[in-house]
Structure 1
């Protein structure tokens, strides 16, 4: 199938990339007059629109998008040690396994797609990425057996078959995945394309070492296939099968991000396809490995991801590496929770009376409302994971009226009296209502509602109490005396209730009265009372309870305090799930 001929997708691209308001969240390190590395919270399309508007071209793209694997990826949330008890429980560690805690809402992202939806989504993203690539740029698309062969067809269409360079096989050893009815799957596929024939590539930067036997043959003056064995001082030419170890659970690289890739993999790609001071971009940034390695190799970087956890993990990782960068949020009409998947999960709870799993509604409808007068009212909301659904247009409305309502009529033996359709953006509301009136052959009333009014209610901030003291010799000290997260406490209670049903009270999580165990990170801003955050001093508590002060790992346990030589104007606290709360400090 040619996705260039898919009217629904190509029509959205023809309109031009979406252009939205961009807000500066934080500046980490000192700004560079020539270039400011970027971290963007937002979707790939919106990020590309921002870069295009600013005339920024990228020289190398690596993306590790969802693989359409049919799975949800989650992380483990660790309870920190209470400062009052840290020294006494040094060898104890509490953790919540999210594989059995779906209600905890710590899914990093959902990777459950219909194939056609996924490919439409990828076509839009790849087209947007191509539009911000420089003439000598190349792109590496990291996938696996689930969808890689389909995406190659898209890449051939967008970049041209003549610009296909390599299919790289990343082979790795991994003890998991035992099977007796098939061969074990132990590799990923990385598709390497250039934008034009004159692309940047430096094999000398990534040559492989020769084997001991080859060096021995050279020394002995041996011949191979009629030629004298002669080596290159830089090493032998690298092949397209790469044996690079995955990150094990004990590795210092491990950040807690579910699909984190090893730095060695990105180092090879970045060395081969970019030079110092070139811009390396990753539009599905995940754990921030692309940006981190780019920084280490003196490249400029752009990290983009829609998940808040991705930005937090990457921000802390880059800050610890000494990188300077600007964090921006693309406001694309949606006030997201931690990520689109969790936003969708929470959204269902915000619609009054909405129930999910009602017979006949299937995957298309978010759920339905039981009304005493009107009966069952199906409710549609756009999938926030799929940017193509955010604009309600005639295509989507036609699908609702002439396909989905017809399916409901067959299952319920009558059309619903009413259907509610939520939207983020709408393509000419007046014309759309006229279109509905003219083409609707059903007896169903279609009510349009603005989803943004609900999304503003998604975020419930945590609360905390503090005391501040000033010592002329040591500066200022802020002591956190109480922390409260109703959302986390509710999830912990649900976890404990499940454990109680299994008659396993020993593994229940117990939180102290001041709840300081729920804090992961604190930062003081001594520069700005409002606006973009400036982290003057910060403390991160790792999962073992030890603290990282301003990016430097220590062996100390957190004592409930954070110090500053300057007068702090406000404080930001991040809980163990990633929610952040800011308070201005009293005079």
Structure 2
């Protein structure tokens, strides 16, 4: 449950949080449930406990990676009095697409060394891999806009007075979001619509009867008219003659000689305007992290240089691959990377560590411990609710039903995890269930089950049901967190620790002898079944060895603290890349992993990350 609710503004401005009324121009833009959005805005941002899970580098106090949703991350920042000077967000585009992470099976490190290297290695196009969903960009337009409105309101509440925000979208939903931006930041604070033009990406429109789309849009707004703006130059293709410009009484004038003639000078640079031609990241580019929606560093470098100065705080609340944080760090800015997806957190963490950045990794304890990403959590819920049968024909409010001998068929409501605001069960939701959903159910229904993740006051909800439910249908409230907590299976690892008797190079060596991940095994099984059913030629299924070390992506040793819940210190670390070569403490090598990790001091804890992104921490028995 949220500790408290943090106001979006020090005192809520009357009329500010109204989605359907654009007061300045008297335009009306109405969406379903906009009154519900207003109520949540007035209530404030839910503030959860935030714990530090890892500290990287010497001075990590100012830089943060936050695993959590935008609104809850902003609540934390606002509670701590942290202001951001520049925001770039690349939120879901409402494109209707599913985005997946390709998961690669690593090379077995325990194969006999006598085998020829050619037999051990696989070509890139033959790497054994499968995919798992990271998030689904499939939205009902009204839900998306309500969701974006709350996120933008939260972001605005933590922006400094001279801050700017870049909102990166495309043709699917950008024109609608611009109207929200006008309302939240003010039409007078709109600065630019920047066109990012790329001609090296495979793009297309929904039909073949249209021009091919080769651009995205970035909407630039400022918090006030005191925003930072630095002129950015780019190289010309050819040097040109250009009139020299000087300041005269504060005015920009052409420079002239003693005879009044205009002075010309050679120019090989020009000011960047609002159409940016920046190449998309090629599949072979060394920037590639394997993250589906990764953006090029050159794009973020231009944004950060134009709208911030050194030592300022740059934030990305849909951080993805971590490009914003990586470029901000390179340009001597402070950074805040936030994402709800654990794969994003790990990708950004590894990227920043390799770049030598110092930062703290924090986790929003919002009660959804299975929340690796919204899609997978939603899929997991449908499996872990005992007796649940998925049935979309019952009605849009219900995910399915549960059958028992006492009540018969009981429709089940589960909060939409794609919409963070639905986590809090409130009287608005109950009112919809009672007045809209219950009357549509068959007369044989005696009970409905309403799962929740968070509530403000259980007694208030019970009283509301008692006072407003005029039907004969019983409403039973259940805590979804109890199911989620019991659904997590930790990975199992066997190892042995030895001390180097020579004490000349490495003192301690930890050898992994066996590793088993229930999640990875289920993902591989599901992939094999689907691929075998759809394959038109002989299909060779993915299989793991008895040792299972092919399912390991990273091993880290903490030689600093043995406390179970203390922040992690990665004193020694090996990451097994998708081609099975290893990166040791941020240094890439061409070597293969031999199943061991070394430390020059006594290791106290070991963390193992599997190829799907789950991490397991073990206290070492020495």
TM-score using structure 2 length: 0.87
**Counterpart for residue 499 of structure 2:** 470
Q: Tell me, which stretches of 5 or more residues in structure 1 are unaligned?
A: 99-105
- 1:547 aligned to which of 555, 579, 582: 582
SS across alignment from 2:372? coil
Contact kept, 8 Å, 1:499 with 1:505, in 2: the verdict is: no
**Counterpart for residue 117 of structure 1:** 143
**Counterpart for residue 430 of structure 2:** 397
SS across alignment from 2:608? strand
- Listed one character per residue, the Cα deviations across residues 231-265 of structure 1 (whole Å, up to 9, x for unaligned) are 68582221111111111111111111111111111
**Counterpart for residue 120 of structure 2:** 89
Query: CA shift at 1:353, angstroms?
Result: 0.5
Map 1:38-117 onto structure 2 (within 5 A): 38-85=64-111, 87=117, 88-92=119-123, 93-98=126-131, 106-117=132-143
**Counterpart for residue 455 of structure 2:** 426
Contact kept, 8 Å, 1:295 with 1:323, in 2: the verdict is: yes
Query: CA shift at 1:177, angstroms?
Result: 4.0
Contact kept, 8 Å, 1:284 with 1:304, in 2: the verdict is: yes
Map 1:348-387 onto structure 2 (within 5 A): 348-362=382-396, 364-387=397-420
Count how many residue pairs are aligned between Structure 1 and Structure 2: 564
Contact kept, 8 Å, 1:76 with 1:95, in 2: the verdict is: no
SS across alignment from 1:456? helix
- 1:488 aligned to which of 520, 525, 534: 520
Task: Give the 3 Å change call, closer, same or farther, for CA 516–231 of structure 1 in structure 2.
Answer: farther
1:169 maps to 2:195:
yes
431-440 or 282-291, which deviates more: 431-440
1:187 maps to 2:220:
no
CA distance in 2, matches of 1:233, 1:79: 53
6-15 or 298-307, which deviates more: 6-15
Query: CA shift at 1:438, angstroms?
Result: 2.2
Contact kept, 8 Å, 1:406 with 1:415, in 2: the verdict is: no
Contact kept, 8 Å, 2:133 with 2:375, in 1: the verdict is: yes
1:3 maps to 2:19:
yes
CA distance in 2, matches of 1:415, 1:128: 44
**Counterpart for residue 271 of structure 1:** 305
Query: CA shift at 1:131, angstroms?
Result: 0.8
Map 1:288-299 onto structure 2 (within 5 A): 288-299=322-333
SS across alignment from 1:379? strand
**Counterpart for residue 602 of structure 2:** 567
**Counterpart for residue 9 of structure 2:** none
Task: Give the 3 Å change call, closer, same or farther, for CA 235–508 of structure 1 in structure 2.
Answer: same
Which is richer in strand?
Answer: 2
CA distance in 1, matches of 2:265, 2:309: 25
Query: CA shift at 1:48, angstroms?
Result: 0.8
SS across alignment from 2:47? coil
Contact kept, 8 Å, 2:89 with 2:316, in 1: the verdict is: yes
**Counterpart for residue 289 of structure 2:** 255
- Listed one character per residue, the Cα deviations across residues 524-544 of structure 1 (whole Å, up to 9, x for unaligned) are 000011211100000001110
Which is richer in helix?
Answer: 1
Contact kept, 8 Å, 1:405 with 1:415, in 2: the verdict is: no
Query: CA shift at 1:480, angstroms?
Result: 0.5
- Root mean square deviation of aligned Cα: 2.2
SS across alignment from 1:457? helix
Contact kept, 8 Å, 2:241 with 2:266, in 1: the verdict is: no
